[in-house]
Structure 1
Amino acid sequence: MLAIGQAAASGNRGSRNAARVIAFARERGDLVVNIRHEAPDAPFFVPGSEGTNINEAVQPRPDEEIITKNFPNSFRETGLKDLLDQHDVDEVIIVGAMSHMCIDAGVRAASDLGYATVTIHDACATMDLTFGETTVPAAQVHAAIMAGLEMFYGEVITTDDFMSR
C-alpha cells in the first residue's frame, strides 16, 4: 500500500483526517510518499514560497520520500512511477488537496497506469470555484469530483472506513 499526501488537505477536518491516514500507514510500515507542488509561473506555487509548504499536520518524516511536481498529475515528469515500481506498489491511497486538481489528476493517472486507487474523500479538500458568472461551493466541487472518481477510477471512502479495513 502507498499513501500519497498531495501537499496537504486544507481545513481542519481534511488535514486531521489526512494526518490520521498517514499515521496509520506509517504504523503498518507502508511506504509514504509526500508530494510537493511547485510551479514557477503560478502565483501560489512559486518555489520557496509558503504555497509550496507541506501542511504541518502531515509533515514528512526524514526517511520519507518527497516528490516535487510541476503539474497537477503527480506522475507527470517525476520519478513517482519508478519509485512505486521499485517498492512493488500495486495500490495507491490518496489524501490531500485540492480535490478538483491534484487529487483528481493523481487518481486518474494512477488508475491509468494500472494501480488500484483508494481516495480518502474526507481527507481531501478543495475550494469554491467560479465559472463565468457561477460560483460553485467547495462542497459541491468536492462531491462532483469524488462522484466521478468513484464511478470509474477506484474506491472513494471515509477515513474511518479505510482504517477499519
Structure 2
Amino acid sequence: MSQRALILVDIQNDYFTGGKWPLVGQAEAAEKAAAVLTAARAAGDAVIHIRHEITRPNAPFFVRGSEGAAIHPSVQPLPGETILVKNFANSFRETSLKAELDARGLTDLVILGSMTQNCIDSTTRAAADLGYSATVIHDACATLDLTFGDQIIPAAQVQAAYMAALGFAFANVVSAETYLATPRL
C-alpha cells in the first residue's frame, strides 16, 4: 500500500476567470493538477482535497456556501476521497489533516494548488515541520501579481521566488511532467 497522499489545496471556482479572485495561469495549473490527480488515483494514492472558506464578514472570496467556494470541476472529488474544509492558509491549522494522514500511515505528501505564496507555502512548510516528506508540483500551483509599497511583483516572479524557497529547505519541487514521468513504487 502506498504511503503517498496527493493534497489538492484550494482549487476552487473563485480562483478561475469569472471568479471573485482570479489567479494568473489558474486554468493551466488546474490542467496539470488534474493530470497528477488522475495518476494518483491510478496508483492507489490517497487523495485529499482541501477547500478554503473565509468566515469573516465581507469576505472578498471563498464565502461559505457560495459557488465560488466550491471545488473546481477539473479536480472534482470522487466518492470516498477526503474533503477537508479549512479557514486558514495552513491546511494543517485547526483541521484534521494531520490526524487523517497519521491514521492512514501516509508519510509522503504531494502538494499542489493555490495560492503559491499563501496556502501552498504555509502548508508545505508545516508538512516539513511535522516530519512529512513533501513534493510540490510547481506548475500545478498558481498565484497572482502582488504589491509591496509602490512596487508590483509579477505573478511569475512571486511563483519563482516561493518555489525556490520551498525547494531550498522544505520540499522537492518538480514540474508535473517530471513527476508523472518518475516511476512510483
Which amino acid is the alignment partner of residue 17 of structure 1?
K
TM-score w.r.t. the length of structure 2 is: 0.86
TM-score w.r.t. the length of structure 1 is: 0.97
Q: Matched residues in 2 for 1:154 and 1:7: separation?
A: 19
> How well do the aligned residues superpose, as a CA RMSD in angstroms?
1.1
Q: Which residue of 1 aligns with 2:100?
A: 83
Q: Matched residues in 1 for 2:98 and 2:72: separation?
A: 24
Which amino acid is the alignment partner of residue 55 of structure 1?
H
Q: Which residue of 2 aligns with 1:18?
A: 33
Q: Which ranges of 4 or more aligned residues in structure 1 deviate by more than 3 Å?
A: none
- Partner of residue 157 from structure 2, selected from 132, 140, 146: 140
Q: Which residue of 1 aligns with 2:20?
A: none
May I ask how many residue pairs the two structures share in their alignment?
165
Secondary structure of the equivalent of 1:44?
coil
1:41-120 matches, cutoff 5 A: 41=56, 42-120=59-137
Structure 2: gaps (5+ residues): 17-25
Secondary structure of the equivalent of 1:151?
helix
Moved more, 86-95 or 45-54: 45-54
- Partner of residue 5 from structure 1, selected from 5, 8, 14: 8
Q: Matched residues in 2 for 1:37 and 1:105: separation?
A: 14
Q: Matched residues in 2 for 1:114 and 1:51: separation?
A: 33
Secondary structure of the equivalent of 1:121?
strand
Q: Matched residues in 1 for 2:67 and 2:90: separation?
A: 21
Contact conserved, 1:7 with 1:53, CA < 8 A, in 2? no
Structure 1: gaps (5+ residues): none
Which amino acid is the alignment partner of residue 7 of structure 2?
I
Question: How many Å apart are 1:53 and its aligned residue?
Answer: 1.4
Q: Which residue of 1 aligns with 2:21?
A: none
Question: How many Å apart are 1:119 and its aligned residue?
Answer: 0.1
**What percentage of aligned pairs have identical amino acids?**
47
Which amino acid is the alignment partner of residue 79 of structure 1?
S
Compare CA radii of gyration and give the structure with the larger one.
2
